[in-house]
Amino acid sequence: MRDFVYYTPTEVVFGRKSEDSLIPLLNKYGAGKVLIHYGGGSAVRSGLIPKIKAMLDSAGLPWVELGGVVPNPHLSLVYEGIKLCRKERVDFILAVGGGSVIDSAKGIAYGIRYDGDVWDFFDGKAAPKDSAPVGVVLTIPASGSEMSDSCVLTNTEKGQKRGCNSNFCRCRFAIMNPERTLTLPDFQTACGITDIMMHSMERYFTPDAPMPITDSLCEGLMRDVRVTGEKLMADPHNYELRASIMWSGSLAHNGLTGCGVRFDFGTHRLEHELSTMYGVAHGAGLAALWCHWAKYVMAENPSRFRSFAIKVMDIPDGPEAARRGIDAMRDFYRRIGMPTSIPELIGRKATREEIETMADRCSRGGTFTVGAFKVLGRPEMIDIYTKANE
Ligand code: NZQ
Ligand code: ZN
C-alpha cells in the first residue's frame, strides 16, 4: 500500500429538498456577491436558474450571471468570467450544471485570485496557490467535478484540452437533487454512467499491488453503477435509480476508490484529444476507446483483468475470463447506446493525420507519457487510436 492523503472537504446536501439549503450554505461559506454560472440553457428551461435568482433576491444576496458554458468548456468564457467578477467585485462562484459548468466556474475562481494568465496552471507554467470559493447545484451526474480536485478546460486557440489538479478548487458545497436529472436526454445519462464507471476503472487498473479495502470499494461501486445504470436506461424516471447514480458519480471521483494506489487515467488523456479534435461528449469518447486500451494493455497484468471480469462484470472464472470481461464491457456500452469505436463516435474513420495530431498533442510532441498500468508514449498512443479506428 502506498502512502496517501484523503481530503474531501465538500459539504454534500443530497435529496429532493436539497435546494432549500442554498442560502444557508452561501452564508456559511461567506458569499458577499455571487456569480451564477450556467450552461446552454437546460437549467433556465427547467426553472432552476429563475428559482435560484429569486432565492438570492429574497435573501438580499447580490448576484450577476454568466451563462453559455459549452460542453468541454472553453478558456475564452473563463476569461470573460474573470473580467466580469473583477468588475462586479464578485467573491463567490455558484456553478449550476454539470462538469463543464463546474470546471468553468473553477477556472474563473482560480483566475480572480491570480495576477497572471490562468492558463499558466494548465500548461504547467505555474501552480495555483489560491482560489475563490465555488459552490455547485449539480444537474448531471458524470464528471465528479463537484467533489474532485480537478478542473479541465479547452484552449481552442491552441487546440489543447488540459486539466489542473489542486485542492484549492474543491467545491465548498454540492447540492444534489436527483429530480433535477430527470430531464437529461438518454444519451447524456449514458455518457454520465460511462464516465462514472471510468473514474473508478482508471483507479482500479493500477500497477500497484492490490489493496483489499480500496479494491472492494472500487469493485462494489463499478458493479453497482453497471447494474443500476442499465436499469436506469430502461426506467429513466425512477428517482431511486437516479439518486443512486448521482451519488456514485461523486464517490467515483472524490478519491475514495483510489486510496493507496497509483492511478492510470491513460484512457482519459487519450479521450481529451478526441473531445478537442471532434467536440464529442467526454463519456462517449471514453466508451469508444476503453476496450481498445484494455486489450492493448491487458498483458501487463492479466490477473487484474480477470478480477475485474469476475467481480465487476459477473463473468464466471476460466481461462478466457479476462478477455471476456472486456467484451462484456463493450456489450454493456452498446446496450446503453454508447459508441465502442472512433467511427461509431464520429460517423467516419479518423484520418491518419488526425491520429498523429492527437498523439502529438497527447504526448506533447513526444515528450510526455500517460498512464501507469502501462506507460504510453506517442507510438503506443498511435497504436491504440489505430485499433479504435477499425
Ligand atoms: O448546457 P446545457 O444546456 O445545460 O446542457 C447540458 C450539456 O449539453 C446538458 N445537461 C446538463 N444537465 C442537464 C442537461 N440537460 C437536461 N437536463 C439536465 N438536468 O448535458 C450536456 C453535458 O453537460 P456537461 O456539463 O458537459 O457534462 P459532464 O458533466 O459530463 O461534463 C463534461 C466535462 O467535464 C470534464 C470533461 O472532460 C468535460 O469537459 N471532466 C471533468 C472532471 C473533473 N473536473 O473532475 C473529470 C472528468 O473526467 C472530465 O474530464
Ligand atoms: Zn471522466
**pLDDT 10s digits, 353-385:** 999 999 999 999 999 999 999 999 999 999 999
Ligand 1 neighbourhood includes 40 CB (under 6 angstroms): yes
CA 192 to ligand 2 centroid distance, Å: 9
Residues with CB under 5 A from ligand 2 (ion): 195
User: Alpha carbon of 363 to those of 156, 223, 374, 379: distances in Å?
Assistant: 18, 32, 15, 9
Whose C-alpha lies nearest to ligand 1, atom 49? 143
Point out the ligand nearest to the CA of residue 286.
Answer: 2
In the predicted structure, residue 238 carries a pLDDT above the cut 90: yes
Q: What is the mean pLDDT of residues 115-143?
A: 98
Tell me the pLDDT of the chain averaged across its residues.
97
CA 196 to ligand 2 centroid distance, Å: 7
Whose C-alpha lies nearest to ligand 1, atom 8? 71
In the predicted structure, residue 112 carries a pLDDT above the cut 90: yes
Taking the C-alpha atoms of residue 166 and residue 40, their distance in angstroms, rounded to an integer, is 27
Return the percentage of the chain with pLDDT > 90, whole number: 99
In the predicted structure, residue 213 carries a pLDDT above the cut 90: yes
Digit-coded pLDDT (tens) for 7-58: 999 999 999 999 999 999 999 999 999 999 999 999 999 999 999 999 999 9
Digit-coded pLDDT (tens) for 253-311: 999 999 999 999 999 999 999 999 999 999 999 999 999 999 999 999 999 999 999 99
Digit-coded pLDDT (tens) for 148-177: 999 999 999 999 999 999 999 999 999 999
Class of domain 182-388: mainly alpha
Digit-coded pLDDT (tens) for 90-110: 999 999 999 999 999 999 999
List the beta bridge partners of residue 376: 370
Q: What is the pLDDT of residue 211?
A: 85
Residue 152, SS3 per DSSP? strand
Q: Which of 165, 141, 188, 145 is nearest to 284 (CA)?
A: 188
Under the banding of pLDDT at 50, 70 and 90, the label for residue 122 is: very high
**DSSP assignment of 3-39:** -------PEEEESTTGGGGHHHHHHHTT-SSEEEEE-
CA 152 to ligand 2 centroid distance, Å: 10
With residue 100 as reference, give the H or E element that holds it: helix 99-111
**DSSP assignment of 51-77:** HHHHHHHHHT--EEEE--PPSS-BHHH
Domain ranges in the chain? 11-180, 182-388
Q: What is the pLDDT of residue 209?
A: 80
Q: Which three cell numbers stand for residue 122?
A: 494548465
Point out the ligand nearest to the CA of residue 47.
Answer: 1
Under the banding of pLDDT at 50, 70 and 90, the label for residue 180 is: very high
Contacts of 293 (CB under 8 A, 6+ apart): 266, 267, 270, 384
Taking the C-alpha atoms of residue 264 and residue 254, their distance in angstroms, rounded to an integer, is 15
Q: What is the CATH number of domain 11-180?
A: 3.40.50.1970
Ligand 1 neighbourhood includes 146 CB (under 6 angstroms): no
Taking the C-alpha atoms of residue 78 and residue 68, their distance in angstroms, rounded to an integer, is 11
Ligand 1 neighbourhood includes 189 CB (under 6 angstroms): no
Residue 155, SS3 per DSSP? strand
Under the banding of pLDDT at 50, 70 and 90, the label for residue 119 is: very high
CA 294 to ligand 1 centroid distance, Å: 25
CA angle 381, 383, 384 (to 5 degrees): 65
Question: Which amino acid does the sequence have at 99?
Answer: G
Q: What is the pLDDT of residue 210?
A: 78
Ligand 1 neighbourhood includes 181 CB (under 6 angstroms): yes
In the predicted structure, residue 81 carries a pLDDT above the cut 90: yes
173, 12 contact by CB (below 8 A): yes
Ligand 1 neighbourhood includes 139 CB (under 6 angstroms): yes
